[in-house]
């Protein structure tokens, strides 16, 4: 069964255009246990992803991706030279996980937070809730479809 997700990234760090360039990549650097648990336990190959630009102008959904590989250890946690290094995470007992995603579509314009909030289907999305900071969030199929509609 396909599930639907929203993955947040700051475009100055990794944007939908970056994903389009590399075509497929591991979604690394998640360092929140709740988001990690979703990546490790719930996100599966074939799932659909709304790629959300956070801390941007404008902020919103910039495109879509598909999960192409399920959870595996985030090797950036083992590299002391990497920004995502975690000295407590070990290759034999990894703390952090990634999934691999593939670019599917870059929207011609970002579906902004305001557009999401104004849409009756999208208005209840977790990303719009005050204090919602999770970088990995579930969305419903109806919300996913509504975002695609808003992107046209």
pLDDT, tens digit, 9 for 90 and up, residues 79-115: 999 999 999 999 999 999 999 999 999 999 999 999 9
pLDDT, tens digit, 9 for 90 and up, residues 105-152: 999 999 999 999 999 999 999 999 998 889 999 999 999 999 999 999
Domain ranges in the chain? 4-151
CA distance 56 to 143: 22
Global confidence as pTM: 0.96
% of the chain at pLDDT higher than 70? 100
Q: Which two tokens stand for residue 35?
A: 């988001």
Query: What are residue 25's DSSP bridge partners?
Result: 101
For residue 125, what pLDDT is reported?
98
Domain topology for 4-151? ph1033 like fold (3.10.590)
CA distance 123 to 108: 22
CA distance 78 to 86: 6
């Amino acid at each position: 069964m396909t599930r639907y997700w929203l993955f947040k990234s700051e475009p100055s760090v990794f944007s939908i255009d970056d994903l389009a360039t590399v075509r497929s990549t591991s979604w690394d650097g998640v360092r929140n246990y709740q988001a990690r648990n979703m990546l490790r336990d719930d996100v599966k190959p074939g799932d659909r992803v709304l790629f959300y630009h956070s801390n941007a102008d404008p902020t919103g959904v910039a495109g879509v991706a598909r999960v192409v590989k399920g959870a595996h250890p985030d090797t950036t946690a083992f590299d002391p030279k990497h920004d995502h290094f975690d000295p407590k995470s070990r290759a034999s007992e990894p703390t952090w996980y990634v999934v691999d995603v593939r670019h599917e579509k870059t929207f011609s314009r970002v579906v902004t937070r305001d557009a999401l909030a104004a849409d009756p289907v999208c208005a209840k999305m977790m990303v719009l809730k005050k204090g919602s900071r999770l970088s990995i969030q579930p969305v419903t199929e109806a919300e996913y479809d509504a975002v695609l509609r808003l992107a046209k």
